[in-house]
Amino acid sequence: MKIGVLGSGSWGTTLALVLNENRHDVTCWSYKQEVIDDISESGENSRFLPGVKIPDSMNYTTDAERCIYDAEVVIVAVPSQAIRGVLESLPKEDNDKRIWVSVSKGIENKTLKRVTEVIGEVRKLPGEQLAVFSGPSHAEEVSRHIPTTIVSASTSIQTAELVQTIFTTPYLRVYANLDVIGVELGGALKNVIAVAAGICDGAGFGDNTKAALITRALVEMNRLGVKMGAQANTFAGLSGMGDLIVTCMSKHSRNRHVGEQIGKGRSLQEILDDMVMVAEGVRTTESVHFLAEREKVEMPISEQVYKALFEGKAPIEAVRDLMTRESKTEDWG
C-alpha cells in the first residue's frame, strides 16, 4: 500500500521502518529539514532514533501535502497538541477515502478531545476511517526487532484488521479491537501515571510504592474510561495495564524521566528545556485534570501529579496526602 507517515520522531520513524520492511511504499514527513539532511548524510535519524539504519527505499519530505498525496493510509505520529495545526495546514478534501491512524498518545488541552476525535473533526471523517494504534511499545525496542505486542482499534473491524495486517511482523504482533475510546484513553492516561512513577523513583520510594501506584492507577483509568464510554476490560489489556507497566518501569520512558527529575527537586521548565523529545504526559496531565472535573470522576493520583507539575507541590507532601486519604474498601471502579 502507499502510506504517508506524518511525523519523523522516534515512533514515527520506527513505524515507517516496520511498514517499509513489509514492502509498503512509505513517505515520511518531518517539519525540520535538518532531520531529513541528517538521514540523508548519516543513514540514520541520529536526533530521535540513533543507531538504527534507515534504508534508501524510504522517502522523506518537509511537505506534508506531498507526504499524504495518493496515500491509502496516513499514520499520524505528531505530538498530540500539534496535530490539529498540522492537519489544518493540509488542503481540504470533500471525499477523503484514506484510513487515518493515530499513534500519538495524548488528549488535546483546549477541547479535551482524543486524537482520533481531532482527526475526524478536522478531516470530516466517519469513524470507520479512523483507527488508533497503541500498546506497550518503546520505539527503541521495536526498531531493533525486540518482540512487542500492540493493539489496533477502530469502530470498524475491517479498518482495525487492515491496520493489523499492514503492521504485523514476526517481531510485532498486533491485536484488533473495537474499543477505540478505551484503547486511546489507556495510551494517554498511562503517561500521567508514568510521571507519578518517576516521582516515586526520584524521591527514593521503593517497589512497594510503585506496585501500589500502578494498581490503584488502573482503577482511576478504568473509572474515567467507563464514564466516557470505554469498556472496563480494555484497561486490563495491552493498551491499559500493558502500556502502564512498561511506561512506569522503563528506562526509555520520557514521562517517567520527567517525574524522576521532579522527584529530585528540579523544576518542570528546567527538565523540559533539557529534553529533545516530547513527554506527552505533561500536557496530558492538564487535560486529565479538567476531564476529571468535567466528568465528576475522582482521580486522586492524577490530581496529585497535576499539583506537583503545575502548582509546585512537594512530592513528599503529595504522597503523604495520598496515603492519608479517608480509608476505603478496595474496588474496581
Does 35 fall in a domain?
A: yes
16 and 116 together in one domain? yes
26 and 95 together in one domain? yes
**Domain with 312 in it:** 182-323
73 and 118 together in one domain? yes
Does 207 fall in a domain?
A: yes
Q: Can you read off the three cell numbers belonging to residue 69? A: 498525496
215 and 171 together in one domain? no
* Calculated CA dihedral for residues 287, 224, 103, 65, nearest 10 degrees: -50
How far apart, in whole angstroms, are the C-alpha atoms of residue 9 and residue 90?
A: 20
pTM: 0.94
> What pLDDT score does 209 carry?
93
Domain boundary among 142, 162, 178: 178
CATH number at residue 76: 3.40.50.720
144 and 252 together in one domain? no
Among the listed residues 97, 190, 296, 328, the single catalytic one is: 190
Domain count, the chain: 2
190 catalytic, yes or no?
yes
pLDDT in tens, the chain (333 residues): 999 999 999 999 999 999 999 999 999 999 999 999 999 999 999 999 999 999 999 999 999 999 999 999 999 999 999 999 999 999 988 889 999 999 999 999 999 999 999 999 999 999 999 999 999 999 999 999 999 999 999 999 999 999 999 999 999 999 999 999 999 999 999 999 999 999 999 999 999 999 999 999 999 999 999 999 999 999 999 999 999 999 999 888 889 999 999 999 998 888 888 887 778 889 999 999 999 999 999 999 999 999 999 999 998 898 889 889 888 888 776
142 and 281 together in one domain? no
Q: Rg (Cα) of the chain, in Å, rounded? A: 19
> What pLDDT score does 252 carry?
87
pLDDT digits (tens, 9 = 90+) for 117-129: 999 999 999 999 9
How far apart, in whole angstroms, are the C-alpha atoms of residue 164 and residue 330?
A: 37
Does 196 fall in a domain?
A: yes
Does 328 fall in a domain?
A: no
140 and 47 together in one domain? yes
> What pLDDT score does 134 carry?
98
24 and 146 together in one domain? yes
Domain boundary among 178, 213, 231: 178
8 and 133 together in one domain? yes
Does 332 fall in a domain?
A: no
173 and 190 together in one domain? no
Domain boundary among 178, 212, 239: 178
100 and 237 together in one domain? no
Does 258 fall in a domain?
A: yes
7 and 124 together in one domain? yes
Does 118 fall in a domain?
A: yes
Does 329 fall in a domain?
A: no
> What pLDDT score does 333 carry?
66
CATH number at residue 283: 1.10.1040.10
